[in-house]
Amino acid sequence: MLNIRPQLRKLCFARSISSFILPEAHQKLKKICCDFSETKLRTIAAKLDKEQLFPSNQIKELANLGLLGILVDKNYGGSEADALALSVAVEEIAKCCGGTASIVSIHNALYADIINRIGTPQQKEVFLPNFVNGNNVGCFALSEPGSGSDAVNMQTTAIHDGNEWVLNGTKAWVTNGIEGGAIIVIARTNKIIGHKGVSAFLVPTLTPGLTRGKRDDKLGIRAASTCNIILENVRVPYENLLGNVGEGFKIAMSGIDVARIGIASQAIGISQAALNCAVEYAGQRKAFGNPIIKLSAVQQRLAKMVTKIEAARLLTWKAAILKDNGHSFTKAASMAKLAASKAATYITHNCIQILGGMGYVSDMPAERYYRDARITEIYAGPTDIQYFVIADNLAKEYGLKIR
């Protein structure tokens, strides 16, 4: 299989979407990912969804292509590419399998990239190479059964005991939790000082005291597992502290900003698949003697669908390019996720409407697209949180405060 790592390592050119055209290296990446998805994922996506199967072989092949370490330095086996490459790859994978795209996106944004940016050389040696090569996938544990978007109220604790940390608590909705080999756990090290009392830890999943809950039976992206992670007197070495004490919330938010680019890209891929399905069906299905694409109502639906996709894609690329050039991208990432996730919900809904009864049965992929799209408005901060993040950053640009 073609290895794209040499191409990915050359993505160090001026990043521009002038004329709204991807740079050549990213276009090559897009084609490679498209070819892989069409040949290795499309035919099995429905089975992965129905049976909640983790695509182990496909994840290993994606690792061989360099797609499990897109943002990781080459010294640790990564591709040393950029956020625009991550966006392109996730979108192409999501066109064929939203669950696999979620696995790749979360692993890259909320595990590998965080460690690559924040970790010590020793931590990178232990927690990156065996995850970049596809032998393992990584996880990120922030949310809890009683603490989601209100993350500073988490109950999971980490107590310093000699040369170890002792972790106790329960984390929820941990993507890749069933299969993952290590987890970035966000825990409270000080109960008094709010978000400044939160720290991040690297925890191998085979550590004594760590157990996985049952696999969540989800509406969509069913190829990607999520579960609770229960920590009962889990002891990790002091050096497994990621960053400094009290930096956990900042580390988590920096990862979530990147994750929002990935989720937006996932939403765009699902949307594009739904649009393709709708256009093809509208061109073939006849009513009143003509293909239904000649009906004004159908044309209006399709026009709105494609416009929302194009707008969301450009917002997502903008966020990625801002990150790649060292600029603040928090607001842009939230705008991208907001636009792309709402577009995905709208487009997959209208795809079903255009297909009519055929859109409601599993013989066609439209209903799977609809189910897969829904989560993109929820994880890494639901739509309501994106409104707040965007407004908060907008106010700051005008010298105002809303919190």
User: Are 127 and 145 in a shared domain?
Assistant: no
Three-state DSSP string of the chain: CCCCHHHHCCCCCCCCCHHHCCCHHHHHHHHHHHHHHHHHCCCCHHHHHHHCCCCHHHHHHHHHCCCCCCCCCHHHCCCCCCHHHHHHHHHHHHCCCHHHHHHHHHHHHHHHHHHHHHCCHHHHHHHCHHHHCCCCCEEEECCECCECCCHHHCCCEEEEECCEEEEEEEEEEEECCCCCCEEEEEEECCCCCHHHHEEEEEEECCCCCEEECCCCCCCCCCCCCEEEEEEEEEEEEHHHEECCCCCHHHHHHHHHHHHHHHHHHHHHHHHHHHHHHHHHHHHHCEECCEEHHHCHHHHHHHHHHHHHHHHHHHHHHHHHHHHHCCCCCHHHHHHHHHHHHHHHHHHHHHHHHHHHHHHHCCCCCHHHHHHHHHHHHCCCCCHHHHHHHHHHHHHHHCCCCCC
Q: Which of 114, 132, 150 is the last residue of a domain?
A: 132
Segments of the chain scoring below 70 in pLDDT: 1-20, 151
pLDDT at 191: 87
Looking at the structure, do residues 177 and 302 belong to the same domain, yes or no? Answer: no
Q: Same structural domain for residues 242 and 262?
A: no
> Is 377 found in the same domain as 258?
yes
End residue of a domain, out of 190, 216, 246: 246
pLDDT 10s digits, 161-172: 999 999 999 999
27 and 118 fall within a common domain: yes
The reply to whether 155 and 94 lie within a common domain is no
pLDDT of residue 194: 83
Say yes or no: 197 and 260 in one domain.
no
Q: Which domain holds residue 350?
A: 250-397
Same domain assignment for residues 242 and 288 = no
What's 331's domain CATH number?
A: 1.20.140.10
Look at residue 20 in the predicted model and tell me its pLDDT: 57
Q: What is the pLDDT of residue 255?
A: 98
Number of domains in the chain: 3
Residue 238 lies in a domain: yes
Q: Which of 111, 132, 153 is the last residue of a domain?
A: 132
Residue 183 belongs to some domain of the structure: yes
Residue 216: give its domain's CATH number.
Answer: 2.40.110.10
335 in any annotated domain: yes
Same domain, 16 and 125: yes
In this predicted model, what pLDDT tens digit does every residue of 230-282 receive, in sequence order?
999 999 999 999 999 999 999 999 999 999 999 999 999 999 999 999 999 99
Which domain CATH number covers 98?
1.10.540.10
Identify whether 168 is part of a domain: yes
Residue 403 lies in a domain: no
